[in-house]
Amino acid sequence: MQNLFIMPGQHRLPPLPYAYNALEPIIGAQTLQLHHNKHHMSYVDGLNKAELSMVEVRNNNEYAYIKYWENQLAFNGSGHILHSIYWTIMSPLGTGGQPRPETLKEISLYFGGFESFKQQFINATNAVQGSGWGILTWQPSWGHLEILQAEKHQNLTQWSGIPILVCDVWEHAYYLNYQNRRLEYINKWWELINWNEVERRLIMAKRGNVPLIL
């Protein structure tokens, strides 16, 4: 088992596993740079700030703003985790490969086939209301995969689910390249999926291990 303890306020932005222009032409360098260096960074900063503020809150026994800080923990913590996964489950065009055996097995068992899974994932992701995510999650409480939407980063989850494959459909993820054409972005993004990483994450999740994000 992992022996991990991140002190309050010590979260760090993980490096991208490729260059900012590596996902061209599907995701442009400017989009990727802003997304990683500005947007994701702001979630890391927001999470650190919330954790450190909660240390003060506890020390001072002053809970007037507890609702705000709890909201910040959920929003920024979930944003940090989902973006950290998002970078790793994409790969430069042409190197994403095909779905691997364990992934295909679990998808077939629950969704009745890969094409059914793909259609549900794409439709669910495209239909997210406002800013959010399409998420393939391993649900250890049921022993099967599930597709969920997330609004913002933290709403509409099933607790204990472990995200395996995530697609960011906040406008900042695609607007420079696709403007309002979210579905076109999702279909193109599909070609970037790093199936080896999806397989690795699924196998670890089934063992009860959540892969380290940093």
**Positions that interact with Mn ion (CB under 5 A):** 168, 170
Bridge partners, residue 132, by sequence:
151
Minimal CB distance to Mn ion: which residue? 168
The smaller minimum CB distance to Mn ion, of residues 22 and 57, is found at 22
- Closest approach, Cβ 170 to Mn ion, in A, equals 5
Cα gap 75→166, rounded to integer Å: 16
Task: Report the sign of the C-alpha dihedral through residues 71, 162, 2, 16, in that order.
Answer: negative
The smaller minimum CB distance to Mn ion, of residues 40 and 200, is found at 40
Which of 153, 116, 157 minimizes the C-alpha distance to 40? 153
- Closest approach, Cβ 23 to Mn ion, in A, equals 14
- Closest approach, Cβ 35 to Mn ion, in A, equals 6
The smaller minimum CB distance to Mn ion, of residues 87 and 117, is found at 87
C-beta of residue 90 within 8 angstroms of C-beta of residue 192: yes
- Closest approach, Cβ 109 to Mn ion, in A, equals 31
Secondary structure (DSSP) of 13-52: PPPPSS-TTTTTTTS-HHHHHHIIIIIIHHHHHHHHHHHH
Name 56's Cβ contacts closer than 8 Å, sequence gap at least 6: none
- Closest approach, Cβ 63 to Mn ion, in A, equals 31
Strands 132-139 and 144-151: antiparallel
Please, what is the angle between helix 41-60 and helix 66-88, to 10°? Answer: 150
The smaller minimum CB distance to Mn ion, of residues 33 and 139, is found at 33
Bridge partners, residue 139, by sequence:
144
The smaller minimum CB distance to Mn ion, of residues 168 and 199, is found at 168
The smaller minimum CB distance to Mn ion, of residues 138 and 170, is found at 170
- Closest approach, Cβ 143 to Mn ion, in A, equals 30
C-beta of residue 210 within 8 angstroms of C-beta of residue 162: yes
Task: For 23-143, list the strands marked E by DSSP.
Answer: 132-139
